[in-house]
Chain A
């Protein structure tokens, strides 16, 4: 029976949210789900099993962090040994690096940044965004195995009681090491919070300067929200690059997303379009963001946001 191999990412001993989604998505395709995991933690392996992997290929290693040469070599070995029909990874700094490299090694092809994968009459179809998020293409791969990366928020995690899955230890493959990670700097915890946040307050070019983010932080504080940005403020240095949401930044799927001074270009919507509810605040009533939003206020954020902070601080009268 063909299997789908999921490349799991582990953070602090737990499968990441996108890994859990990926396992759920793979499980929905009606095939055996197997996974490859790089972790020192048996609990992390159990977590991957619990979320749907019937067999886990465990490469035991102190570091959870991505190491391209090692991960590609190990995943290639597992993919060949298992004759996997497809290999799926999250569309992250790790997955988006691993997947294309793996596809070439396996003499196959890759669909990056998928927004959907379905199985039609036994054929896997991969849909992805292109042209800055304006267009979708659906691909199939005659040359097995198919390789793909999947955006956050696409799959639905499926936590089951601890499955009686099998764990197979992976023997280290041989490869010539030509790259070495010599340093890693992570920003404060708040940036990781963006992907997990239930509410996000994001600002764009319309903030007209870094001080705009102070206004947004006021709203974020009342809501317990994380703060994000479209690409322009990051490139202009108004906020850290790790705040960037969009095609080349983070993909977020909060319950509530405030797009403030954001025009709503497709490349931004590619990162936030799956938020359950989008609130747009923009001075331009013609801005594209109002096409993608659920609620809109046409106005100057400098007035609207403080008024909203005041309104939210008032006790709920409903």
Chain B
């Protein structure tokens, strides 16, 4: 069984937003020099989901793939330290700030080149653009079934059994393999790499390829990127007019708040 996990390097989403600058002219978000770049958390949970599948079926090869700059080697090394077996980085200047549609094209081609793949996992959305497009795009471009927003993934025989999160519960979906599954935070925390695994990871193969080495021409990528135009990028203004309710103690504050809510006919 061959599992592939697609991961993305993003500016640490836990960091203060002040560490990012929004360049409205260039329509880019620029992280401050000291800002840590990490694996997008849902992708980390996708690696976790793959490891759990391997543990339950006994044996499987896990390949992690990323599209990104050379620094994205670090998130691949992190996945290897978590327990993945091999890593592939697609690094190409033509892919800098690539649209989700182009990223899906590149990843689908990379996965096709990996030979037999039974299950492709990825996070439900990346923590930077929050789009949630790539997983579905890979599935459509490879002609595979997809199950989104998974909180649990199991493999039994030729099928994946996936619990998919709904607004008010969950549904269980069986998908014929090969399939794509996107992972939601309800899956639970991803494991932390142990020192031993981190040492071992240093000896695991990490390959770097360009898009053309996957057989992708710049024009083809360009056609996918051109499907969308970013017209504007900006930081919304918050009203920032919070009234702090006065009062000598909690009882007085509560009475005052109740009075205001009543006079505004909110309660």
Q: Please, what's the 1-or-0 string for A242-271, where 1 marks a CB less than 8 Å from any CB in chain B?
A: 100001101000011000000000110000
Q: A182's contact among B169, B172, B233, B259, by CB below 8 Å, is which?
A: B172
A135-B233 contact, Cβ under 8 Å, with A247-B130, A277-B264, A311-B258: yes
In the complex, the answer to whether A138 meets B230 with C-beta atoms within 8 Å is yes
Q: How far is the CA of A298 from the CA of B254 in the complex (A)?
A: 11
In the complex, the answer to whether B226 meets A142 with C-beta atoms within 8 Å is yes
Which of chain A's residues have a CB closer than 8 A to the CB of B148? Answer: 68, 93, 96-97
Q: Which residues of chain B from 166 to 201 have any CB-CB distance to chain A below 8 Å in the complex?
A: 166-176, 179, 184-186, 188-189
Does residue B253 face the partner (Cβ distance < 8 Å to A)? yes
Nearest CB of chain A from residue B245's CB, rounded to whole Å: 5
Q: Which residues of chain B from 106 to 156 have any CB-CB distance to chain A below 8 Å in the complex?
A: 124-125, 127-133, 135-137, 139-141, 145-149, 151
- For the complex, would chain A's binding face be called helix, strand, loop or mixed by DSSP majority? mixed
In the complex, the answer to whether B168 meets A101 with C-beta atoms within 8 Å is no
Which of chain B's residues have a CB closer than 8 A to the CB of A250? Answer: 167
In the complex, the answer to whether A311 meets B257 with C-beta atoms within 8 Å is yes
In the complex, the answer to whether B136 meets A93 with C-beta atoms within 8 Å is no
Does residue A171 face the partner (Cβ distance < 8 Å to B)? no
Nearest CB of chain B from residue A109's CB, rounded to whole Å: 4
Does residue A304 face the partner (Cβ distance < 8 Å to B)? yes
In the complex, the answer to whether B184 meets A248 with C-beta atoms within 8 Å is yes
Interface residues on B, range: 35 or more
Q: Which residues of chain A from 207 to 240 have any CB-CB distance to chain B below 8 Å in the complex?
A: 223, 231, 234-235
In the complex, the answer to whether B242 meets A139 with C-beta atoms within 8 Å is no
In the complex, the answer to whether A141 meets B228 with C-beta atoms within 8 Å is yes
Does residue A130 face the partner (Cβ distance < 8 Å to B)? yes
Does residue B165 face the partner (Cβ distance < 8 Å to A)? yes
Interface centre among A93, A181, A300, A310 (most CB of B within 10 A): A93
Q: How far is the CA of A192 from the CA of B130 in the complex (A)?
A: 24
Which of chain B's residues have a CB closer than 8 A to the CB of A255? Answer: 266
Which of chain B's residues have a CB closer than 8 A to the CB of A109? Answer: 99-101, 227-228
Q: CB-nearest residue of chain A relative to B243?
A: A295
In the complex, the answer to whether B130 meets A113 with C-beta atoms within 8 Å is yes
In the complex, the answer to whether B238 meets A318 with C-beta atoms within 8 Å is no
Q: How far is the CA of A97 from the CA of B27 in the complex (A)?
A: 27
A248-B185 contact, Cβ under 8 Å, with A132-B130, A277-B264, A311-B255: yes
Q: B176's contact among A136, A178, A267, by CB below 8 Å, is which?
A: A178
Q: Which residues of chain B from 223 to 267 have any CB-CB distance to chain A below 8 Å in the complex?
A: 226-236, 238-245, 250-251, 253-255, 257-264, 266-267
A100-B133 contact, Cβ under 8 Å, with A136-B233, A295-B245: yes
Q: A280's contact among B133, B168, B240, B242, by CB below 8 Å, is which?
A: B242
Of A26-34, A52-60, A160-168, A286-294, the one touching chain B? A286-294
Q: How far is the CA of A181 from the CA of B267 in the complex (A)?
A: 42
Q: How far is the CA of A267 from the CA of B255 in the complex (A)?
A: 31
Q: A97's contact among B149, B229, B234, by CB below 8 Å, is which?
A: B149
Nearest CB of chain A from residue B88's CB, rounded to whole Å: 22
Which of chain A's residues have a CB closer than 8 A to the CB of B141? Answer: 104
In the complex, the answer to whether A180 meets B228 with C-beta atoms within 8 Å is no
Q: How far is the CA of A59 from the CA of B245 in the complex (A)?
A: 53
In the complex, the answer to whether B259 meets A318 with C-beta atoms within 8 Å is yes
In the complex, the answer to whether A180 meets B227 with C-beta atoms within 8 Å is no
Does residue B13 face the partner (Cβ distance < 8 Å to A)? yes
Q: B242's contact among A105, A130, A290, by CB below 8 Å, is which?
A: A290
Q: How far is the CA of A131 from the CA of B169 in the complex (A)?
A: 27
A182-B174 contact, Cβ under 8 Å, with A199-B267, A277-B264, A294-B242: yes
Which of chain B's residues have a CB closer than 8 A to the CB of A310? Answer: 251, 254
Does residue A187 face the partner (Cβ distance < 8 Å to B)? yes
Q: B253's contact among A103, A183, A256, A299, by CB below 8 Å, is which?
A: A299
Q: B231's contact among A125, A184, A223, by CB below 8 Å, is which?
A: A125
Nearest CB of chain A from residue B208's CB, rounded to whole Å: 27
Q: How far is the CA of A64 from the CA of B91 in the complex (A)?
A: 44
A134-B17 contact, Cβ under 8 Å, with A178-B176, A183-B172: yes
In the complex, the answer to whether B166 meets A93 with C-beta atoms within 8 Å is yes
Q: How far is the CA of A221 from the CA of B38 in the complex (A)?
A: 42
Q: CB-nearest residue of chain B relative to A248?
A: B185
Does residue A42 face the partner (Cβ distance < 8 Å to B)? no
Nearest CB of chain B from residue A41's CB, rounded to whole Å: 20
A135-B266 contact, Cβ under 8 Å, with A179-B145, A179-B173, A295-B260: no
Which of chain B's residues have a CB closer than 8 A to the CB of A69? Answer: 145
Which of chain A's residues have a CB closer than 8 A to the CB of B185? Answer: 231, 235, 248
Interface centre among B230, B232, B236, B264 (most CB of A within 10 A): B236
Q: How far is the CA of A255 from the CA of B265 in the complex (A)?
A: 10
Which of chain A's residues have a CB closer than 8 A to the CB of B137? Answer: 100, 104
Does residue B20 face the partner (Cβ distance < 8 Å to A)? yes
Q: A297's contact among B13, B17, B133, B245, by CB below 8 Å, is which?
A: B245
A-B pairs with beta carbons under 8 Å apart, 12 shown: A68-B146, A97-B146, A97-B149, A104-B136, A112-B132, A135-B234, A142-B226, A181-B173, A256-B266, A276-B266, A299-B250, A318-B259
